[in-house]
Every structure is written in C-alpha cells, then in structure tokens.
Structure 1
Amino acid sequence: MGIVMKGADVANAMKEELLQRVAGLKEKGVSPCLAILRVGARPDDLAYERGAKKRMELLGIDCRTVELPRDIRQEIFEEKLKELNEDGRVHGILLFRPLPGHLNEEAAKRIVDPGKDMDGMCPANVAKVFAGDDTGYAPCTAEAVIELLDHYKIPLSGKRVVVVGRSMVVGRPLSMLLLKRHATVTICHTRTRDLPGVCREAEILVAAAGKARMITQDMVGEQAVVADVGINVDEEGNMWGDVDFETVQEQASHISPVPRGVGSITTSVLAKHVVQAAERQTDNE
C-alpha cells in the first residue's frame, strides 16, 4: 500500500519559510501584493480565487481582485493589464485563463510584465523555464509537483520519469523542471503508442492528461512514485484524478490523491512567486 502524499503537509512546510520572508520584506517597508485579474465569474475561477486569497491572507500577503465584465473590449482589457504592470504597489499578477473567446489571450501573454507574471504564461518566462533559468516563473501547478516530490524526499537525479500530458500549463514546463534536476524524462499523451508499456517503465509517473482515471494499476510499475495532477469533475459534481487511486495505491510506493494532493500546493507556490517578485523588485530599486 503506497504512502499517500498529501498536499496540505507540503503547504504547511512551505508556510514557515514564506512567513519569515514576508516579515523580512515588511521590515523594509514592503508589503508584497498579488493582483488577480479576472474576466467574468466562472465558478472554477471563483473557487481558485477564494483559495488564493485565503492563502495570501494566511501569509500576510496583500491580495486584490480586478474583476472585469465578460464582454469587455480587447483594448480596455489590455489597458487594465498595463495599469497593473505599472502599479508599483503590485508585485505579482495572476490572470485567470482561458479568457472569453473574443479576447486575444496571446496578446495578454505578450503584454504582462515578466517580472510580475506569477503563473509563467508570458514568452519570456516560458523561455527561461525551458532554458533552466531560475529567474523565470514556471506555471504554479508544474512547480507544485516538484515541491511535492521534494517534500517527500523523492530523488529525481537519474530517475526515469514519464509525464503523461503535453500542455504548456503542466506537462511541458514540468518536464523542463525535471530535466533541470537531472531526471530522464519521457513525455507521453493520449496518442502515444503502447502508453501502458511506456508508463510501466517509469520510476516516477506524473499523470496530467485531463482524463479521469485513465492510469490504471496495469500501467504502473512495482513501487513507482505516482503524482496525479488531473482534475476531472463528473455530472454529479464528484472530483476525480487521472489515476485510478484505489487500485494504483496497491502498486505504488507513493501516490498523491485528488483532491487534497498537488492542487493543494498551487496557491502556496503562487505565494512563493509573489514573495520572490517582491524581493527582486525591492532589490532592483
């Protein structure tokens, strides 16, 4: 029976260091601040916003929400984003995506200040993550997986890691973070030939394809470490990961649940990014 890797334990461990760093900033007269830019009021955005605000409050980080109407024009949306770029009191910006279809998301990625881009969406941060440059901000969910593995003392150097999922939010940036830690990484997806066979070769398996319970026991090697990043909600409102948790737990040495796994760490990573941004902006003044 595999050890369950709980996100709350990781978040609590990160909390102590972040509280100290926030206190250090406030001694210098700097109050770290996150601005959440939200267009419309999608239920999943609102749920994440509540969690992010709660985490920021717990750590002494200011958090403000800029809510824009769903039918906002592109030029006004861009003006609001530029205002946050230029506001010296704001150290980090989180833009909820996807944007409504009439808005140009690629334009937003190019406009946001890379030093305030807390979820690693702009081209400059993407390039830094792929280059292994520590000054770039990775997407919070991708970095949360690394925090999870580190907390549970899962060695990465030299390990065979399979990442199922190739999105720019998790799969690809996570693969770059793993490579930086000297793992040997294979990126798979739903069209990979003999996906079960490839997954069975993994010492560490990360499921991030967005398909409920697609990773079954026969796809997991004996005593593998399994990190489940999937969030899938059925018609009855139940949340499932990409891993069939009950059966895979019998096969794995460590496994993260859904919910209360990787997702519980993302707001802590977001807070970490805000603190880093505040420290860097303060040092550059």
Structure 2
Amino acid sequence: METVLMRGKPVADVYREAITKKITAAKEHGLTVTLAIVVVGDDPASHVYKDRLVKLIESLGGAAKVIMLPADSDEEKVIGVIKKLNRNRYVTGILPMMPMPKHINGDAVGAAVSANKDVDCLNPINAGDVFMGRSPWAACTPRACMATLAHYGIELEGKNVVVIGRSNVVGKPVSVLLLNKNATVTVCHSRTRNLPELLKTADVIVAAVGKPCFVQPDMVKEGVVIVDVGINAVDGKLVGDVDPAVAEKASAFTPVPGGIGVVSNMMVMECLTRNL
C-alpha cells in the first residue's frame, strides 16, 4: 500500500492563487484588504502566529494592522479596541489572538468582533450559523482539515470518522463539517472509555488533543487516514498528536510540521476575502 503524504503547501497554493486575484481586484477599485490583529500580552505562540499572518497577508497583496496591548490591559479596554476596529471602514477583518491573558474572558472578546469582520468564527452568531449548516465559515483549522481532505480526494460519505478533542476551535466545529459531508462521526475526549477500541474502527482520525504522539500504531487499523492537527514542542522539535510511526499503517496522513498548519493560515485569508 502506497501512503499518501498530505502536505499542506499544495493545498494552500490553490487557495493562494484565488485569494491573490480577489485582493488584486479590490486594490484596482481602491480597496486595500486589511487584517487587524489584536495581541494582548507576550504569549510567544501568539507572536509567532501574528508574524506569520502579517507576512502572509502582505505576500498576497494585502495589509496588516497590528495592535499590541500590554498583558495587564483590562477586558473593557480590549473590547473597546475591537469595537473601534469594527467601525473602521479601512479594516476588512479582525483577529484577536487567543488565548487571552487569564483575567480576560476570551469568549467575550470574540463575541465583540463584528460578524462580518470575524475571520476565525469567534462571534457566536457565526458559530451558530456553522452549527446549523447555514454557513461554511467555520474556524480556520477545521476548514483547513476539510480543505486538505478534499484536495487529496479523501471520500468522507459513509466513513467512520473519530475526532479526538472537543474544543470549540477544532473538535466541535470539525465534527459538524464532517457530518455535513455525510460521515459518521464519533467525538472522543478525556473522559471517553475504550478510546483505543474506538480508534481501531475509524476510517479517518482527526487528532486535536494537544498531547504529543498520543495516537500510537497499535491504536489504528491498516489503511486509516490521519489528519494530525496537533503542534507540540518536544526537545526543540515540533511533533503532532500522532506518533510518526502510525504513517506506516496509514493510507494517507498529514505531516507535522508542514501539514494542517500551513493550510490553516491560508484559511484565515480566504475568510478575510469572503465578501469581495
């Protein structure tokens, strides 16, 4: 059995071409597509993500507006900044970096983002529309999972899919998107019993548990498709939630790094340009 390595770059490149055309067309009409990024505090991961998004939007012909706020900013101040950006007609989309410092309610900040400027489905109106099947604009990482599976021709209808993780940003929304493709979805989490047995029934596994190399070869069946959303730092290297040895049993899998994360960034840009 030949294993398909589902790299993210070819997927992202397809979207890059379409998004660049939209941004260029907008610029010809006097509109610079602008992503406002709000960073509160000094979370290293947020700053890395922010820098990557700035580089990406600029490479596509758009612009970034970065608002840096000190870690001790109160919730009212952060929401005030968001509301000001909502009213700014030169700002196309808004992305507050999560997680927020512990004293700030991240859900409240996300809810403050105008629904039509929300690029990562943080506004509960947008999240509700996704859940009800009325909108395709789920958070960027779940959409990256679906875009990658579609690009590599992975059929989902009637397949048994196990999602490991029930977060509001990955596990829950990706399960809804999978259901919309007529997959049979099981969502597992820290309280799930007999997880290895459930994983062995899966035709497709989406791992978003946040534990390095959590899924081991003896937990999966031959020919399984692996979508590894995890990004964990171990001994100075990035590893996923799935042990690399699982690839020997898989018919297709996403590498870490170089897999879903690459596509996820581009999904932010796709959502940013959705109304153009």
TM-score band w.r.t. shorter chain: over 0.9
* Gap regions ≥5 residues in structure 1: 280-285
Matches within 5 A, 1:147-162: 147-162=147-162
SS at match of 2:274: helix
Question: Distance between the aligned counterparts of 1:265 and 1:62, measured in 2?
Answer: 19
Deviating beyond 4 angstroms after TM superposition, the runs of 4 or more aligned structure 1 residues are none
Please give the TM-score of this superposition, normalised by the length of structure 2: 0.96
Q: Which residue of 2 aligns with 1:137?
A: 137
Matches within 5 A, 1:195-214: 195-214=195-214
Matches within 5 A, 1:94-113: 94-113=95-114
- 1:192-236 CA distances to partner (integer Å, 9 max, x unpaired)? 1111111111111111111111111111121111000011112x3
Which of 267, 272, 275 does residue 274 from structure 1 map onto?
Answer: 272
Q: Which residue of 1 aligns with 2:69?
A: 68
Question: Distance between the aligned counterparts of 2:138 and 2:6, measured in 1?
Answer: 22
Q: Which residue of 2 aligns with 1:283?
A: none
Q: Which amino acid counterpart does residue 14 of structure 1 have in structure 2?
A: Y
Please give the TM-score of this superposition, normalised by the length of structure 1: 0.93
Matching of residue 240 in structure 1 with residue 239 in structure 2:
yes
Matches within 5 A, 1:119-268: 119-134=120-135, 137-234=137-234, 236-245=235-244, 247-268=245-266
Shift of 1:170: 0.4
Q: Is the 8 A contact 1:158 1:184 kept in 2?
A: yes
Question: Distance between the aligned counterparts of 2:212 and 2:44, measured in 1?
Answer: 20
Shift of 1:39: 0.5
Q: Is the 8 A contact 1:117 1:137 kept in 2?
A: no
Question: Distance between the aligned counterparts of 1:244 and 1:94, measured in 2?
Answer: 32
Question: Distance between the aligned counterparts of 1:195 and 1:26, measured in 2?
Answer: 51
Q: Which amino acid counterpart does residue 216 of structure 1 have in structure 2?
A: Q
Question: Distance between the aligned counterparts of 2:51 and 2:79, measured in 1?
Answer: 24
Q: Which amino acid counterpart does residue 230 of structure 1 have in structure 2?
A: G
Question: Distance between the aligned counterparts of 1:198 and 1:273, measured in 2?
Answer: 34
- 1:40-88 CA distances to partner (integer Å, 9 max, x unpaired)? 1221111111111111111112111011111112222221111011101
Question: Distance between the aligned counterparts of 1:9 and 1:47, measured in 2?
Answer: 22
Question: Distance between the aligned counterparts of 1:104 and 1:248, measured in 2?
Answer: 38
Q: Which amino acid counterpart does residue 216 of structure 2 have in structure 1?
A: T
Shift of 1:38: 0.5
SS at match of 2:94: strand
